[in-house]
C-alpha cells in the first residue's frame, strides 16, 4: 500500500467530514437530514471553475464570489425545504422536500455546464512534496488543515457564543427554546447558511483534485451522510472521525479492488456501526425508559 493511497484517503475523508458536519448543522435545530447538501459542494466547484478557469480572475475572486453565493443558496434552500415541511404536517415531508431541492439545483448546474465532465480549476496551491517516495500535493495538505480548523471553530462556536448556545437549545427542545426567547426561526436560517458555506468551501478545496461533475452532489451527500452517522450526528469530532474512516476505507478498497467495492464496504460499515453503536462513535446515547 503506497503512501499516496493513504494521502488520498485522508484528503477525501476531510471533504466527507465537512459534508457530514454540514448535515449535522442543519439536523440539530430542524431534525431534517438535508439530502440537497451536496449541491452546495457543487456550487463551490462551479464558482471555482467559472471564476478561475473560464474567467481567469483567480482564487481570491472565487472566494469573494463563493461566500455571498453560498449565503443566498442557504437562504433559498431553507425556504425550499422548511416551508413545505411546516405546511404539510407530515413527518416524512422533509425527504421529498430535500430531494426536490437537490434535483432543482442539479438541473440548474447541469443546464449551465451540460458539456463539462469535471469542474476542475487549477489548484489553490500548486506543487507538492514527496513522502516516503510518493507525491503528496499541497492542495491535499491545505484541505485537511482547513477541515480540522472548521471542525474546531464550529465546536468553539457552539460552546462559547450566544448563537451557539441558542442552536443547542433549539436542538434540545425547540418549543422550550421559543418560550425562553430563542429566535428559533432565525437559528434555522442561520444553520442552513453556515452549512452551505462550509460545503461551498469544501467544493472550492475539492474541485482541483476530485472528479466533481455538475450532477455529482448526491453522491457527496450520501458519503457525508455515511460519515455523519458513523461518527455520530451532531458531533464535530464525530464528523471528522467518520469522514476519515469513510475516506480511508474507500481509498484503500478502491486501490485493492475497485471503486464499486469501495462504496460497498463503506455502506456495509455504516450498517455495522448502526448495529453496534446506534448513536455513532461519538454520538450521545439515549436510554430507553
Residue 282 resides in a domain: no
Residue 286 domain flag: no
Distances (CA, A) of 43 to 13, 23, 81, 120, 150: 19, 16, 18, 12, 19
How many C-beta atoms lie closer than 10 Å to residue 98's C-beta? 23
Q: Going residue by residue through the chain, which has 289 residues, state the pLDDT in tens, using 9 for 90 and above.
A: 688 889 999 999 999 999 999 999 999 888 899 999 999 999 999 999 999 999 999 999 999 999 999 999 999 999 999 998 888 878 788 999 999 999 999 999 999 998 898 999 999 999 989 888 888 899 999 999 999 999 999 888 888 888 888 888 877 777 777 777 778 888 899 999 999 999 999 999 999 999 899 999 998 999 999 899 888 877 778 888 889 999 998 888 888 877 677 777 777 877 787 788 777 777 655 443 3
Q: Within a domain: residue 283?
A: no
In-domain check, residue 103: yes
Q: What is the pTM of this model?
A: 0.91
Whole-angstrom distance, CA of residue 47 vs CA of residue 66: 6
Let me know if residue 213 belongs to a domain: yes
Alpha helices in the chain (DSSP H): 3-30, 37-48, 59-88, 93-112, 138-160, 162-172, 174-179, 184-206, 217-231, 236-256, 259-276
Q: How many domains does the chain have?
A: 1
DSSP 158-204: HHHSHHHHHHHHHHH-HHHHHHTT--HHHHHHHHHHHHHHHHHHHHH
Instruction: Please report where in the chains the cell 437559528 appears, as a residue.
Output: 187
Structural domain includes residue 281: no
Q: Which residue has 442552513 as its cell numbers? A: 192
Q: Other C-beta atoms within 10 Å of 25: how many? A: 28
pLDDT of residue 261: 75
Tell whether 7 is covered by a domain.
yes
Residue 187 contacts residue 166 (beta carbons within 8 Å): yes
| Cβ 249 vs Cβ 265: under 8 Å | yes
In a domain, 188, yes or no: yes
Distances (CA, A) of 54 to 57, 119, 162, 203, 245: 9, 11, 42, 17, 35
Query: Which range of residues forms the domain containing residue 182?
Result: 3-276
The pLDDT value recorded for residue 289 is 36
- Supply 242's cell numbers: 467518520
CATH code, domain carrying 261: 1.10.3470
pLDDT at 45: 97
Give every CB contact of residue 110 below 8 A, 6+ residues apart in sequence. 214, 215
Amino acid at each position: 500500500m503506497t503512501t499516496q493511497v493513504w494521502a488520498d484517503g485522508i484528503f477525501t475523508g476531510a471533504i466527507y467530514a465537512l459534508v457530514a458536519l454540514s448535515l449535522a448543522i442543519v439536523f440539530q435545530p430542524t431534525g431534517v437530514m438535508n439530502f440537497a447538501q451536496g449541491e452546495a459542494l457543487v456550487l463551490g466547484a462551479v464558482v471555482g471553475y467559472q471564476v478561475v478557469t473560464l474567467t481567469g480572475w483567480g482564487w481570491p475572486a472565487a472566494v469573494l464570489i463563493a461566500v455571498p453565493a453560498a449565503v443566498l443558496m442557504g437562504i433559498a434552500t431553507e425556504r425550499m425545504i422548511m416551508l413545505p415541511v411546516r405546511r404539510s404536517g407530515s413527518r416524512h415531508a422533509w425527504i421529498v422536500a430535500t430531494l426536490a431541492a437537490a434535483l432543482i439545483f442539479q438541473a440548474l448546474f447541469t443546464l449551465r455546464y451540460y458539456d463539462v465532465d469535471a469542474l476542475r480549476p487549477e489548484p489553490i496551491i500548486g506543487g507538492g512534496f514527496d513522502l516516503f517516495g510518493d507525491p503528496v500535493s499541497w492542495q491535499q495538505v491545505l484541505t485537511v488543515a482547513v477541515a480540522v480548523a472548521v471542525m474546531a471553530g464550529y465546536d468553539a462556536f457552539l460552546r462559547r457564543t450566544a448563537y451557539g448556545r441558542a442552536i443547542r437549545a433549539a436542538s434540545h427542545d425547540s418549543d422550550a427554546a421559543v418560550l425562553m426567547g430563542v429566535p428559533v426561526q432565525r437559528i434555522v436560517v442561520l444553520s442552513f447558511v453556515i452549512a452551505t458555506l462550509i460545503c461551498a468551501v469544501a467544493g472550492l478545496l475539492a474541485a482541483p483534485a476530485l472528479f466533481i461533475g455538475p450532477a455529482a452532489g448526491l453522491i457527496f451527500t450520501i458519503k457525508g451522510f455515511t460519515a455523519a452517522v458513523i461518527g455520530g450526528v451532531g458531533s464535530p469530532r464525530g464528523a471528522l472521525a467518520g469522514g476519515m474512516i469513510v475516506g480511508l476505507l474507500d481509498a484503500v478498497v478502491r486501490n485493492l479492488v475497485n471503486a464499486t467495492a469501495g462504496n460497498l464496504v463503506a455502506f456495509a460499515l455504516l450498517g455495522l456501526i448502526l448495529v453496534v453503536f446506534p448513536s455513532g462513535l461519538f454520538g450521545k446515547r439515549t436510554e430507553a425508559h
